Structure 1
Amino acid sequence: MRIADLDGKRVAVWGFGREGRAAIKAIRSRLPQLSLTLFCSDAEVASACAFDATLDVRGHEPDATALAVFDVVVKSPGISAYKPALQAAREAGACITSGTALWFAENPDARVIAVTGTKGKSTTTAMLAHLARSLGVRTALAGNIGMPLLELLDVSADLWAIELSSFQTSEAGSVELGVITSLYEEHLDWHGSRERYIDDKLKLADVSKQLLVNATQGFLLKRTARHPHRIVFGHVDGWHVAGGSIRRGSQPVFEITNLRAPGAHNALNACAALAALEAMGFDALKAAAALATFRPLPHRLQPLGEHDGFHWVNDSISTTPLATLAALGSLQGKAVTVIVGGHDRGLDWSEFVFAMKAHAPHAIVAQGANGPRIARVLREAGVVVEETGDLAAAVERARAITPASGTILLSPGAPSFDQFHDYADRGRHFAEMAGFDVHEIVGIEGLGIA
């Protein structure tokens, strides 16, 4: 469905975050006279009316009856596609679409690399755009990474580097190359089950002419084995990490020590970006040198610096226990106090606990809504853990128990919604608690066209 197809229809937009605002603006740019209804929270009503005075604004979550009068519902990514109200509207004949779906319908000929994955998707997408631009390719960087696609509705690019969350993979049109960086359980509250989360992630494979996947994950290889044009990264025959280098087959190409984004997982993300460029016909060997100038994304193993005798690392983006393990792995050999915990959505912490039994950091501080659950399973396994109520108390406890010149790492392994608006809000508060100027934590560089 294209935006023009909305003409004459009864249309509702559900969600007034950045995606919702982008959808409203894009629809208005093409169909200025179209009547639009917006469903948002009560707290957003005044802002929505100021944003567009012609909107019919309703400050509540719609039920099936409220949606039944609409032909089309344009939903934001955070609205689960499995909400009963949406399912009922779909069964009644309504078209459920999104900003992502509308953009793909408007741009069927765009050269798109779409990147998804439980972890690594943002860094890989940003690296990909950075490397392509180093070759002089006019590249767009957008999607779940921080700029809705509809904000770039009327611009052109030679290459589109698009990040898709598991909420968006079923909304994509045909893409020249799909990339899956990793696959673990995540967002069970949105998808309803681990199996449905995995199925939704893998919907990207269905619309990808070529599919690039992580060869180090046997489960992912098995689930994508039938794709007719599957290629891999992380394998010795292609782009992989070995002997302290990023390599193309047996050829060393880039020393990992020159990569500003720390951790072996980020070196593997770089392999994904290089393999994606190569699959699209670009000179990845030439582009690899530009990895040295890639700036790590905020809130993703972001070194904040030294303050009060401690080294502080902000990994607020970590929303799974496995992401926390990856963060700790990047800091091996250091005296680390890790702060874990946040919004509880029922993820399994057993693998984290098993790893902590074998090799725990200097200290673990559990906090937030699922802090007591994390602390309990760690103690049952014989792992020493501190416990506090919230992040502020956890930071103060970490100061008290971390040795001089040690590292205090925020890598929660859980979402932020128990205490903060989102992971970025949590990361900024952590930086402020540590004593840093939060204004220096800039957003993601390179969004849009360059």
Structure 2
Amino acid sequence: MRIADLDGQRVAVWGFGREGRAAITALRKRLPRQSLTLFCSPAEVDAAQAFDAALDVHAVEPDTVVLAAFDIVIKSPGISAYKPALLAAQAQGTRFTSGTALWFGENGIDQGRPARVIAVTGTKGKSTTSALIAHLTRALGMHTALAGNIGLPLLELLDQSADLWVIELSSFQTGEAGPLELGVVTSLYEEHLDWHGSRERYVADKLRLADVSQQLLVNALQPALLERTQGHPHRVQFGQPTGWHVADGFIRRGTQDVFPIDQLAAPGLHNALNACAALAALAAVGMDALAAAPALAHFRPLPHRLQTLGEYAGWYWINDSISTTPLATLAALESLHGRAVSVLVGGHDRGLDWTPFVEAMGGTPPNAIICMGNSGTRIEAALRAAEVRCPIVRVDDLASAVAEAKARTPKDGVILLSPGAPSFDQFKDYAERGRRFAEIGGFDAGTIVGIEGLGIS
């Protein structure tokens, strides 16, 4: 679907976050006389009317009858495509689209001027891998766009051009992409079950990226991912010894040592694998990955992703607020192996399985585990049932969790925020949670800036 297809239709925008605002702006630019209805929260009404006085604003969650009154609804990513009201309206003829789908409609192969696109998804690692790809291609002199789920809606760049588009897609967006040159899947774990409804549907939605990718790059260290993608006719892999992988302290291409992992500013084996994915992506689309590799030394890690805040009051503080799955927390702990770490876990409870985390803690427990938020009680109970041999504390909120960690962490130890859960029980998003952690720890949260390199350069 292209924006021109909305002309004269009954159109609604559902959601007034950044994606919703980008859609309104794009439509006003291309179709200035198009009538638009907006569905938003009551708290957003004044801001929406100030943003566009011509909007017909409704502070309501639309039901089937309301949605069915429109020809086309532009939905924000966070609104589940499996809501009963949405599915019922769809069955009655309402078409649902998104900013991502509209961008691909404007820049797709069927328009005769396709953009070169590398699209990246994955349960974890997609943001860092996307940013790494953009960083490395720019080091080779390519005019590169970095946008999508990473923090810049594609429609904000609608009328701009680039040699290469690096687009991060969440599982909410993978089904909205059009044909593209290379799809990258960094990892595949259990997440967002509240949006997708089941693990199987989450996996299926995530891998819809494979359907539109001319080439597909996947993580060779994940057997289930390899099994699910084995039918792709042009699949390549990273993380295997014959290609880009990590061994003996180096990022390697086959048997060739390319880059020492201790020179990566982003710590942990998982970040070294993200770098392998980025280099493999460049090679897959015909770029000189070996020539780009030295630029890894200058890559600035993304905020809230194993972000070292520094030392304060005798402890080292690490902000991994982006961690929203138990396996991400395990990866964070592994990157700090050998240090005295007190980890803060828990938050909004989506019913994820904490069994692998609990089993790992039974073998190599950290200094202490502080359980917080809505899921804290369930995590604490599982740890105690497994007789994990380290201090386990249950608290209500982040401030209390930090206080307990300080009381139990030796000097020169690490206080790690890696919740393994979303923030929505107490915070607007993971970034607000990370900034609050920094403030409680004694740091200036204003120094935690946004993601470097968004946009086109």
Q: TM-score range by the shorter chain?
A: over 0.9
Aligned match for 2:428, one of 421, 426, 440: 421
Equivalent position SS for 1:329: helix
Equivalent position SS for 2:131: helix
Structure 2 match to 1:435: 442
Structure 2 match to 1:340: 345
Residues in 1 aligned to 2:73 and 2:377: alpha-carbon distance in whole angstroms: 40
Structure 2 match to 1:297: 302
Equivalent residues, number: 450
Structure 2 match to 1:124: 129
Residues in 1 aligned to 2:178 and 2:166: alpha-carbon distance in whole angstroms: 14
Structure 2 match to 1:234: 239
Question: Structure 1 stretch 295-304 or stretch 80-89: which is displaced more?
Answer: 80-89
Question: Structure 1 stretch 124-133 or stretch 87-96: which is displaced more?
Answer: 87-96
Structure 2 match to 1:17: 17
Residues in 2 aligned to 1:255 and 1:114: alpha-carbon distance in whole angstroms: 27
Residues in 2 aligned to 1:129 and 1:32: alpha-carbon distance in whole angstroms: 34
Matched, 1:276 2:284: no
Shift of 1:195: 0.4
Residues in 1 aligned to 2:107 and 2:22: alpha-carbon distance in whole angstroms: 16
Residues in 2 aligned to 1:429 and 1:126: alpha-carbon distance in whole angstroms: 24
Structure 1 match to 2:184: 179
Residues in 1 aligned to 2:3 and 2:416: alpha-carbon distance in whole angstroms: 45
Shift of 1:111: 0.3
Structure 2 match to 1:212: 217
Mapping 1:16-415, distance limit 5 Å: 16-108=16-108, 109-383=114-388, 384=390, 385-415=392-422
Shift of 1:332: 0.4
Residue 393 of structure 2 aligns with an amino acid whose one-letter code is: E
Residues 181-209 of structure 1: per-residue CA shift (max 9 Å, x gap): 00000000000000000000000000000
Residues 308-363 of structure 1: per-residue CA shift (max 9 Å, x gap): 11000000000000000000000001100000000000000000000000000111
Residues in 1 aligned to 2:363 and 2:190: alpha-carbon distance in whole angstroms: 23
Residues in 1 aligned to 2:395 and 2:85: alpha-carbon distance in whole angstroms: 38
Equivalent position SS for 1:313: strand
Shift of 1:386: 1.1
Residues in 2 aligned to 1:121 and 1:324: alpha-carbon distance in whole angstroms: 16
Q: Point out 4+ residue stretches in structure 1 off by more than 3 angstroms.
A: none
Residues in 1 aligned to 2:60 and 2:444: alpha-carbon distance in whole angstroms: 37
Residues 130-172 of structure 1: per-residue CA shift (max 9 Å, x gap): 0000000000000000000000000000000000000000000
Structure 2 match to 1:6: 6
Residues 234-291 of structure 1: per-residue CA shift (max 9 Å, x gap): 0111100001000011000000010000000000000000000111111000000000
Residues in 1 aligned to 2:88 and 2:53: alpha-carbon distance in whole angstroms: 30
Is contact 2:321-2:434 (8 Å) kept? yes
Residues in 1 aligned to 2:31 and 2:51: alpha-carbon distance in whole angstroms: 17
Shift of 1:387: 1.1
Gaps of 5+ in 2: 109-113
Gaps of 5+ in 1: none
Residues in 1 aligned to 2:436 and 2:180: alpha-carbon distance in whole angstroms: 38
Equivalent position SS for 1:209: strand
RMSD of Structure 2 on Structure 1 (CA): 0.4
Residue 403 of structure 1 aligns with an amino acid whose one-letter code is: P
Residues in 2 aligned to 1:83 and 1:26: alpha-carbon distance in whole angstroms: 26
Residues in 1 aligned to 2:288 and 2:131: alpha-carbon distance in whole angstroms: 17
Residues in 2 aligned to 1:85 and 1:75: alpha-carbon distance in whole angstroms: 13
Shift of 1:85: 1.3
Residue 309 of structure 2 aligns with an amino acid whose one-letter code is: L
Is contact 2:68-2:90 (8 Å) kept? no
Is contact 2:317-2:414 (8 Å) kept? yes
Residue 345 of structure 2 aligns with an amino acid whose one-letter code is: V
Is contact 2:120-2:166 (8 Å) kept? yes
Shift of 1:94: 1.1
Residue 151 of structure 2 aligns with an amino acid whose one-letter code is: G
Residue 12 of structure 2 aligns with an amino acid whose one-letter code is: A
Shift of 1:88: 1.1
Equivalent position SS for 1:266: helix
Residue 377 of structure 2 aligns with an amino acid whose one-letter code is: P
Equivalent position SS for 1:115: strand
Equivalent position SS for 2:245: strand
